[in-house]
Structure 1
Amino acid sequence: MTALPPQPDAQPDALPESGPAVMSAAEALPERGPVRQRSPLPDVLRGLALLGILIVNVQDFAGFRVWTQGGLDRTVQVLTDIFANGRSISLFAMLFGWGAAGLLARQGVGTFLLRHAVLLAVGSLHFVFVWHGDIIANYALLGVFLLLTIRMTAPTLVALAGVMGTWWLAEGVWAGVQASQSGTRFGRFAGLPQLPSGLPYSSVVNERASDFSSNLIDGSIYNGPWLLALFCLGAAAYRTGLLTRPHEHGPLLRRLTGWGWGLGLPLGILLAWLNTRGDYASGLLAIPVRMGGGLALALGYVGVLGTLAAQDRLGRWKAFAASGRMAMSNYIAQSLIMTTVFYPYAGAQYGQWGAAAAVALALVVGLAQLPISAWVLRRWGMGPLERLVRALVYGRRSGSGKA
């Protein structure tokens, strides 16, 4: 597949928020409206993360329990745990922080808050009417915290991320250790929605609507320190130009590659082992292992692809850039497709598929989004939801956006 070349007048209305382009000193002055040119690396990383998120989320869509998988299903689940589970969402969250920091620097507080309000509305509608696993609303709400970091340097942001992330991981490990030592015989909590056969769409919507506010608040409180740590790492990457000028950061990218893969792979193997066990303590321990190893390997992915970008050798990886530029539209399209296949008010396949078949479907859908996204960008310049967000945030003055 060929890559879509950078388009003039292209708006970075993607989820996570796209960040700044490579700018000269004169162009660095704040201006209202969308970014006009793009560096390919952030879009490639975002598109790759989007595919990985679908591969992981398909467990929730399809309704299979990871610790019950056997044979080929278990092999697929192990590979998912090692290379995608926790890795893709960590990369996505860091890119959100990177883009939010860029938006704040370029457009100011007013546009930043307006965009986050729009994202909160989009995420809320996604949660209630499409799928309970929405991340857009949580990101929009927690992302406002970055207003407090606007004057922080990259080292300060990394230090702050280290404190929040270490505290959150330590809490998770301690909870798992306590559960293992207590001798509890509770079974593992699946975390999957209750979707009995024949459940109508109206009932699903009503239940999600009643759960929305508590889900948003509780999720933001529980996951807040970890997500904020990832946002801060992304903001630090913005401050240093790591993603827009990777050729200036060769030593750092090599360290990210070595340490990221060196830590991420063993923790991924540990996660895969924990996910073969059905006890409560293993389920608790899997959470910090998943996210700690996920962050490590996500940084390893940044190191590898950043090095390739610095050498102008992204090659076929550039095919992910088109999907990354339409991340919000593609993310919600994934929810629509998967709930149509699996949920009882449509395809009614929930609980009928194992990991192998479900991940195969995820790969088909996710990879199909690459050429479709490229075609949409050639034809209209942006995705439908990106166009909507752009209109609500920037108004008609930002132009049509077609390349």
Structure 2
Amino acid sequence: MTVLPPPQELEPGPAAPPPEAGPLAARGPVQRRSPLPDVLRGVALAGILIVNMQDFAGFREWTQTGPDRVAQVITDTLANGRFISIFAMLFGWGAAGLIARQGPWTFLRRHAVLLAVGAAHYVLVWHGDIISLYALLGVLVLLTARLEAPALVGLAAVLGSWWLGLTLLAGLDVLGEAAGRFSGLPELLPSYAGNVSLRATEFGPLLIGSAVYNGPWLLALFCLGAAAQRTGLLLHPQEHRPLLRRLAVGGLSVGLPLGALLAYLNTRPEYAAGLLAIPVRMGGGLASALGYVGVLGLLAAAGRLGAWRHFAASGRLAMSNYLTQSVVMTSVFYPYAGAQWGRWGALGALALALAFGLLQLPVSAWWLRRTGTGPMEWLVRAVVYGRISTRPIREDPK
């Protein structure tokens, strides 16, 4: 959670609520689900870890050289801003479905629980928490409950264009200045207790500041997700092949060149380059995210997800996996745990992220076979619904 640019990679919130359903859906957690949303969520979770490794490991993008620079360019071109956009849209998709299925009071109870989980994560583990920000801003999705898909897309376009325009102007205003680059890295104290105390003091003001700064952009992504919920895009991709093709071709055609531009800007030490990287990162990230959704959606529509299905288990345990990533990586890198912070470059961090992200796939599948849900998912549902079913959730065969 950040206020000053450039913002940290926005971490995934918890697994989105169960898929959208019609008014006849039963109360409580859904027991059937389509594989595509969970695959997308699992892929996004792994990609976000790759980007967040800069923060965990404490390296600066523009100082990378040799193989580390190659790894940073790959990360910026293919991952930076991409997977968090997918996750934010999925959050909006799930929120819209929960409102339609359960009504506003269950929705508000769930967001209150998420806010508490996010606050604990921020204070006790990592300053980059995004669960609390999603919980706070996500409440505004209630205001869109009666909007149809075209209106939601239009609202997203207005909010997104406004935010991108303001951030672009901020970068252009300082072009030519010789000021040093803003690192965006956290202030770390040598003891765990000191960091907890610092984060507890700053949590409230930074949450509000981040909501003001990032709010329009995140709300735009939530609206796009809500539009997907209205149309059934993720539950029935076979009915939306033309749209998915347009997303795949158009999104990647725009997103990949902007990713290359982001990689260039992140090799520059100037403060202006850091500011200009923000709209390039988020605008290009959204374009590529839509492209990735299009590609995976077409595979799902054709029944050819193949190995991508392995990401579904991780996606179903997204909140538990996300929090585990934070605990493990801060334990490895932060000074009070291993004194590795600032000693790794982009290549080592990328390799570690890939290894750990892939490890979470079989572990998640193993856990689901035995329990049917993740520990944090169980806790949130138990508090929200007042009861919990441990039966495994079946995939929708459609």
- What is the TM-score with the length of structure 1 in the denominator? 0.93
Q: 186-195 or 245-254: which moved more?
A: 186-195
Post-superposition CA distance 1:26-49 (Å, at most 9, x none)? x74143100110100000000000
Distance in 1 between residues matched to 2:200 and 2:377, nearest whole Å: 25
| 2:296 aligned partner | 305
Post-superposition CA distance 1:224-250 (Å, at most 9, x none)? 000000000000000000000000000
Q: Does 1:146 align with 2:141?
A: yes
Decide which of 183, 191, 194 is 2:187's aligned counterpart: 194
Distance in 2 between residues matched to 1:289 and 1:324, nearest whole Å: 27
| 2:10 aligned partner | none
Post-superposition CA distance 1:187-235 (Å, at most 9, x none)? 1101101225xx0100000000111001100000000000000000000
Post-superposition CA distance 1:170-194 (Å, at most 9, x none)? 00111111110xx322111011012
Name the aligned partner's letter for residue 342 of structure 1: F
| 1:134 aligned partner | 129
Q: Does 1:156 align with 2:151?
A: yes
Identity %: 66
Distance in 2 between residues matched to 1:213 and 1:28, nearest whole Å: 37
Post-superposition CA distance 1:129-172 (Å, at most 9, x none)? 00000000000000000110000000000000000000000001
Distance in 1 between residues matched to 2:78 and 2:335, nearest whole Å: 30
Q: How does 1:2-401 map to 2 (within 5 A)?
A: 15-20=14-19, 28-180=23-175, 183-195=176-188, 199-396=190-387, 398-401=388-391
Residue 19 of structure 1: how far off its partner (Å): 3.5
Tell me, yes or no, if the aligned pair for 2:23 and 2:100 is still in contact at 8 Å: no
Tell me, yes or no, if the aligned pair for 2:244 and 2:294 is still in contact at 8 Å: yes
Post-superposition CA distance 1:81-117 (Å, at most 9, x none)? 0110000110110000000000110011110000000
Name the aligned partner's letter for residue 68 of structure 1: T
Residue 402 of structure 1: how far off its partner (Å): 4.4
SS in structure 2 opposite 1:344?
Answer: coil
Distance in 2 between residues matched to 1:274 and 1:207, nearest whole Å: 32
Tell me, yes or no, if the aligned pair for 1:16 and 1:92 is still in contact at 8 Å: no
Distance in 2 between residues matched to 1:313 and 1:30, nearest whole Å: 28
Q: 171-180 or 183-192: which moved more?
A: 183-192
CA distance 1:209–1:389, change in 2 (3 Å): same
Distance in 2 between residues matched to 1:105 and 1:230, nearest whole Å: 18
CA distance 1:142–1:16, change in 2 (3 Å): farther
Give ranges in structure 1 of 5+ residues lacking alignment.
1-13
Post-superposition CA distance 1:362-396 (Å, at most 9, x none)? 11111100000000000000110000001001112
Aligned CA RMSD, in angstroms, stands at: 1.1
SS in structure 2 opposite 1:305?
Answer: helix
| 2:396 aligned partner | none
Name the aligned partner's letter for residue 180 of structure 2: G
SS in structure 2 opposite 1:144?
Answer: helix
Give ranges in structure 2 of 5+ residues lacking alignment.
1-12, 394-398
Tell me, yes or no, if the aligned pair for 1:19 and 1:98 is still in contact at 8 Å: no
- Residue correspondences, number: 381
Tell me, yes or no, if the aligned pair for 2:155 and 2:220 is still in contact at 8 Å: yes
Distance in 2 between residues matched to 1:330 and 1:399, nearest whole Å: 20
- What is the TM-score with the length of structure 2 in the denominator? 0.94
Residue 347 of structure 1: how far off its partner (Å): 1.2
